[in-house]
């Protein structure tokens, strides 16, 4: 028997699983699956896992619109806690962040960043009005970090901090990401080696006008592995 082609709405892509159940994904981020929210009408759960029905505790959050917007999206605090823990455990091994750290300590590191000036080993004060733990859909935390190229104090063989930023809206080279796109920061020594622990920014938002959570391949894989482990314990 031949299968007929089905026209799919532009906001979602449809995949066919082995059990012939369709799984919709966000067109703006195909790694994220979309399922009906069984507890709220006209709502959807967003998750990295293909399990149907999904586990609400492991969902990124819920939304009344597809694709999600800041106004339609509601964060899941349990997921944010898991995300923060995964970043604390694995951010220092992320090739993307390692490359930033090495660039910061290089000869041109001191010329990077907004304004081209750095204050070695000085932590950036949280801007007035920025959210704290989990505020606005963030990963939460203490707001540690500096002001550098992809973010951090230091540069040019001095050391400091680099920011781990969401890939949905990468800043121009030599510019700092917007606060809502900064997941957190980590300390780098004068040789460009990561020596500190990941510190959540407290300003990160899962959904902005630029899109939804976008991690590097390495960190997304680590996050999904953790979610699978958690799901087995449900």
**What pLDDT shows up at residue 109?**
53
Using an 8 Å Cβ cutoff, are 112 and 149 in contact? yes
Residue matched to tokens 């703006």: 28
Contact between 191 and 139 under an 8 Å Cβ cutoff? The reply is no
Q: Are 146 and 123 in contact (CB under 8 A)?
A: yes
Q: Where are the alpha helices (DSSP H) in 10-159?
A: 77-90, 95-105
pLDDT at 3: 38
With vertex at residue 53, the alpha carbon angle to CA 25 and CA 72, rounded to the nearest 5 degrees, is 50
The first and second tokens of residue 188, run together, are: 């780098």
Q: Are 69 and 86 in contact (CB under 8 A)?
A: no
CA angle 98, 100, 103 (to 5 degrees): 110
What was the pLDDT predicted at 234? 86
Residues in the chain: 234
Between the two ends of the chain, the Cα-to-Cα distance in Å is 39
- pLDDT of the chain, 234 residues: tens digit per residue: 443 343 444 444 443 333 335 789 999 999 999 999 999 999 999 999 999 999 999 999 999 999 999 999 999 999 999 999 999 999 999 999 999 888 877 765 544 443 222 323 333 434 433 333 344 443 444 444 333 334 444 445 567 889 999 999 988 877 889 999 999 999 999 888 999 899 999 999 999 999 999 999 999 999 999 999 999 998
Q: Which residue has the tokens 């967003």?
A: 46
What is the model's pLDDT at position 104? Answer: 78
Model pLDDT, residue 198: 96
Instruction: Give the pLDDT score at 107.
Output: 64
Number of neighbours of residue 160 by Cβ within 10 angstroms: 31
Give the span between the Cα atoms of 105 and 83, in whole angstroms. Answer: 28
Q: What is the pLDDT of residue 230?
A: 98
Collapsing DSSP to helix, strand or coil, 105 comes out as helix
Per-residue model confidence (pLDDT) at position 93: 97
pTM confidence score: 0.75
| Interatomic CA distance for residues 142 and 116, integer angstroms | 25
Closest CA to 145 of 191, 201, 96, 106: 201
């Amino acid at each position: 028997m031949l299968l007929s082609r089905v026209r799919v709405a532009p906001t979602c892509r449809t995949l066919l699983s082995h059990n012939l159940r369709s799984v919709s994904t966000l067109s703006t981020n195909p790694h994220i699956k979309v399922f009906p929210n069984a507890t709220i009408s006209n709502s959807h759960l967003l998750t990295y896992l293909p399990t149907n029905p999904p586990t609400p505790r492991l969902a990124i959050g819920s939304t009344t619109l597809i694709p999600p917007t800041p106004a339609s999206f509601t964060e899941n605090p349990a997921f944010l806690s898991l995300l923060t823990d995964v970043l604390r455990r694995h951010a220092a091994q992320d090739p993307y962040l390692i490359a930033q750290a090495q660039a910061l300590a290089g000869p041109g590191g001191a010329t990077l960043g907004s304004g081209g000036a750095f204050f070695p080993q000085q932590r950036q004060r949280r801007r007035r009005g920025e959210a704290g733990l989990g505020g606005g859909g963030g990963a939460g935390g203490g707001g540690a970090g500096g002001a550098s190229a992809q973010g951090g104090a230091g540069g040019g063989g001095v050391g400091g901090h680099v920011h781990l930023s969401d890939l949905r809206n990468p800043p121009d080279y030599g510019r700092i990401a917007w606060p809502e796109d900064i997941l957190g920061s980590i300390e780098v020594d004068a040789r460009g080696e990561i020596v500190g622990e990941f510190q959540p920014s407290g300003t990160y938002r899962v959904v902005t006008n630029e899109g939804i959570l976008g991690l590097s391949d390495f960190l997304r894989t680590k996050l999904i592995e953790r979610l699978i482990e958690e799901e087995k314990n449900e």
